[in-house]
Structure 1
Amino acid sequence: MAEKKEYRIKVQGQLMPVSEEIYLTYHRMKRRETYLEERDTTNGVFYYSALDTEGTNGEDVIPDLISPRVEEAVMDKLLSDKLHKCLAQLTKEELELILTLFFQNKSEHQLAAETGIPRITLHDRKTKILQTLKKLMEK
């Protein structure tokens, strides 16, 4: 009679008896893991986890390119504040025209149809107001 072979795998430093099926599955999995690591090494794949230290996680050094930078947020806020101050210096009619065209997203054609003012006149007024705003913003 053939002697039954014992299969063991190392779990937390101790050899544990397992079935042949578990033994084969475990070693197939370990071989696959080794193969993938070898392939990554051959292809020059780098893992940020390689930068792990006691005090830091290697993934913490990955720059966040999606979130807005603090400097840009501050500059946007400063420009926004300045624009609001400059808009406050316009006359009521000029402000209404700018608000309608840029903040309510109406076209010059739509506004001309609603007000009865020729589109060319509205365009010329808009251009003049934008030049005024540009001068105020540059101060």
Structure 2
Amino acid sequence: MAEKKEYRIKVQGQLISVTEEVYFTYYRMKRRELHLEEKDTAHGVFYYSALDTEETNGEDAIPDLTSPRVEDMVMDKLVAEKLHQCLSQLAKEEQELIFTLFFQNKSEHQLAAETGIPRMTIHDRKVKILRTLKKLMEK
């Protein structure tokens, strides 16, 4: 009587007995993986995992383009501080106008309706204040 063939695969360095179906599926998958790796090599595909060392992960070398850069965050903070300093140099009425238009997001039309001041007067004041702020920011 013919002996039944025993199928084994290596898992974490140990041979494990498996069914014939599992054995052939496993090695078919391994052959496919090897084929794809050879194809990638032939086409010059580079994997960041090739940069892995004991201390670092190769994927850490990939720049994160979705997060803001530290330099940009620092510059934004410095500009915001400068803007607040310049705003504090404006007259109280000018500060209130800028605060209402830019920080409360009210339109010139809304502000004109609330205060009774013509919209064009509000617009002209806003433009004059923004020019003043620009000059102060450039100092």
Read off the aligned partner of 1:85 and give its amino acid letter: Q
Matched, 1:109 2:109: yes
Cα distance between partner residues in 1 of 2:12 and 2:116: 84
Structure 1 residue runs of 5 or longer lacking an equivalent are none
Q: Who is 2:124 aligned against?
A: 124
2:56 alignment partner, SS class:
coil
Cα distance between partner residues in 2 of 1:13 and 1:103: 65
Cα distance between partner residues in 2 of 1:74 and 1:16: 57
* 1:98 Cα offset (Å): 0.5
Q: Who is 2:78 aligned against?
A: 78
Taking a change above 3 Å as real, the CA distance of residues 138 and 14 of structure 1, as seen in their structure-2 partners, is closer
Cα distance between partner residues in 2 of 1:29 and 1:49: 21
Structure 2 residue runs of 5 or longer lacking an equivalent are none
* TM-score, normalised relative to structure 2: 0.88
> What pairs up with 1:1-139 in 2 under 5 angstroms?
1-139=1-139
Deviations 1:16-56 (A, max 9, x none): 43321221121122122223323332443221000112332
1:10 alignment partner, SS class:
strand
Read off the aligned partner of 1:38 and give its amino acid letter: E
Cα distance between partner residues in 2 of 1:14 and 1:71: 51
CA RMSD of aligned residues (A): 1.8
Cα distance between partner residues in 2 of 1:16 and 1:76: 60
Q: Say how many residue pairs are matched.
A: 139
1:124 alignment partner, SS class:
helix
Percent identity, aligned pairs only?
80
Cα distance between partner residues in 2 of 1:126 and 1:115: 15
* TM-score, normalised relative to structure 1: 0.88
